[in-house]
Structure 1
Amino acid sequence: MNRIEELFNRKSQRVLNVYFTAGYPTLNDTVGIMESLEATGADLIEIGIPFSDPIADGPTIQESNGIALDNGMTLKLLLEQLEGVRHKFGLPIILMGYINPIVQYGIEAFCQKCQEVGVDGLILPDLPMFEYLEVYKPLFEKHGLLNIFLITPQTSESRIREIDQNSNGFIYMVSSASTTGAKTGISQDQEAYFSRIKEMNLKNPTLIGFGISNKETFDKACENANGAIIGSAFIKAISQEGVIANNINEFIQSIKG
């Protein structure tokens, strides 16, 4: 069984998925950040593949992408950094990125390498479902990779049902029709959306992302989903002065309470 599925089999509440950009703040921070997140109580690790035009992301993550690219991070180098990580790291690993760098790397070679290094799932916001089903699904399944789809407040019920039917692992609930980034709180409209999805009784677990930045928003998201995804606020935390491992510990503890 895939490690993402194993996670949700044993834990159905307050699942914490943390996103960071590979190669940020410095080129070789990737594995150290992963180890610190596991040590401090994260449940899922989502590693961003730096891209020059990250259309789904807000200013903080866009900036981290630019710095990571300037540092020399590439998809090839990220996969090399992950070699051997499974000897000392147990959490599920998701790679989040855009389809263009993966096509340039080679789809078959990418999937095979992901399997070799222990990647469990992929989030590819610009991969259309029909293309996934027709082209990518057999390759992903062959190499044990779960494809995580996103839904938004504007996604129709029929579309959500279709996504649920063709998903494994979890569904990424985008909290609002905007790019990523820390927000001040959860609005009534967002709460109504969360509640609506919860009442659909989907077969897959759900994690809420975009705008989850502190204990208050994490707790609110967990009332209506199996957990939440934190990205921009974490990027800001590891950008601070001081020892990264200490900053990570302080941030995660502030979220989990």
Structure 2
Amino acid sequence: MRGPDEDLALLTEAARKVGPIALSFWKAEPEAWEKPDDAGPVTEADLAVNDALHSTLMGARPSYGWLSEESEADASRLDARRCFIIDPIDGTRAFIAGQAGFAHSLAVAEGHRIIAAVVHLPAMDLTFTAHADGPALLNGQPIRPSGAGIGGARVLTYKSATDPEHWKGGRVPPFRREFRPSLAWRLCLVAEGRFDAALSVRHVWEWDIAAGSLIAERAGAIATDRHGQPMRFNSPRAMIDGMVVAGPRLHRDMRVAMT
């Protein structure tokens, strides 16, 4: 069985290969439409990137499972020892709007844990990487999360996460809420200490957070579901019950304050 570093090298190669594909559609008014069941928008660029990633990754690792936002569900992935977990373009709304904050999110799970991860933002020339036995890197340089506590922390989340119902006694902590379009990028921004935490009180899709969660953990942050439990990937539903990603001190503070 290949080491996590070998899978990381493959993911990195694949991410850099598809970056130009995405950029060829970016700001070029790609065809876009809404998915069924209010699942959000998708564009011809998402599908082109997905096809290229599938060809590259499964061509190199045909025994691996495949879980992607833009592919039909395939239950055989649950029996594979390792599985790719892919979001071809995370932040599709930003992509459609011509904003630079979209990412390719690529991960490999072994069993239920992530062992290799890449989040690549081609319009910004940013590549976050990590594998299970090494450090988290941004463009080859080590990154670390902040040591902030909850007072005044900059937390990447959506507005409804600050509703009093999600916090003990209805007391919302005095953090500053901010937002970025790509969920994978949010986790990486926490990993590099530019923001202090990323929070979701709603279920999140595995492909949105698989890569970013490992990058955050290898940087020194703690990444759990909203209840403080370890994240388990390549599950039948492909969903995680919310998330709290932050440095150890802030993660503890947030978990104490949450319902």
User: If the length of structure 2 is used for normalisation, what is the TM-score?
Assistant: 0.25
Higher helix share: 1
User: If the length of structure 1 is used for normalisation, what is the TM-score?
Assistant: 0.25
Which has the higher relative contact order, 1 or 2, with Cα contacts under 8 A spaced 6 or more apart? 1
